[in-house]
């Protein structure tokens, strides 16, 4: 298994990077009035995922829990590509929450790099709330997800 693990990490990293580019593009193309809704949905999804037994498997069916990684990012990505704006926002929020938890404490450099990209995007999303003028403490913002 030690031989296959680096291969799985490379495959997963590439998949997340490809999806991340599309998710980032979708967020940047959203109208400003949708940013508030996306922030709320993202915080709610991160909070719900953190309360589950396995946050990195949030959005994965119970019978699929033994796969190398969960299906939450795939489900979120599929929804994010929807032509329905509400479904797309919910998909983006789900993808961000699962990608955040999946890459959060990874021992692999490729996934740590992906986590930094996700955190940067979450920070930008938070900055959109304040217009970029207020000092940003990501931990405080993320802790607000428990109340959402």
Q: Are 19 and 95 in contact (CB under 8 A)?
A: yes
Q: Which residues contact 10 (CB under 8 A, 6 or more apart)?
A: 110
Q: Using one digit for the tens of pLDDT, what is the confidence trace for 40-49?
A: 999 999 999 9
Q: Are 19 and 91 in contact (CB under 8 A)?
A: no
Single pTM value for the model: 0.83
Residue 32: which pLDDT band, with cuts at 50, 70 and 90? confident
What pLDDT, on the 0 to 100 scale, is given for residue 142?
57
Task: Tell me which DSSP letter residue 83 carries.
Answer: S
Average pLDDT, the chain: 86
Residue 98: which pLDDT band, with cuts at 50, 70 and 90? very high
Q: Which residues contact 98 (CB under 8 A, 6 or more apart)?
A: 49, 56, 58, 59, 70, 72, 73, 76
- Average pLDDT over every residue of 66-73: 84
């Amino acid at each position: 298994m030690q031989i296959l693990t680096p291969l799985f990490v490379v495959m997963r990293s590439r998949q997340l990077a490809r999806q991340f580019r599309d998710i980032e593009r979708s967020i940047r193309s959203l109208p400003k009035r949708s940013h508030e809704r996306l922030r709320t949905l993202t915080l709610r999804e991160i909070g719900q995922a953190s309360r589950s037994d396995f946050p990195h498997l949030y959005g994965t069916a119970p019978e699929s829990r033994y796969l190398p990684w969960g299906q939450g990012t795939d489900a979120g990505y599929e929804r994010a590509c929807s032509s329905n704006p509400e479904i797309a926002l919910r998909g983006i929020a789900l993808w961000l929450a699962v990608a955040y938890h999946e890459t959060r404490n990874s021992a692999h450099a490729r996934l740590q790099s992906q986590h930094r990209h996700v955190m940067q995007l979450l920070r930008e999303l938070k900055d959109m709330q304040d217009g970029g003028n207020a000092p940003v403490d990501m931990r405080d913002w993320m802790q607000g997800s428990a109340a959402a």
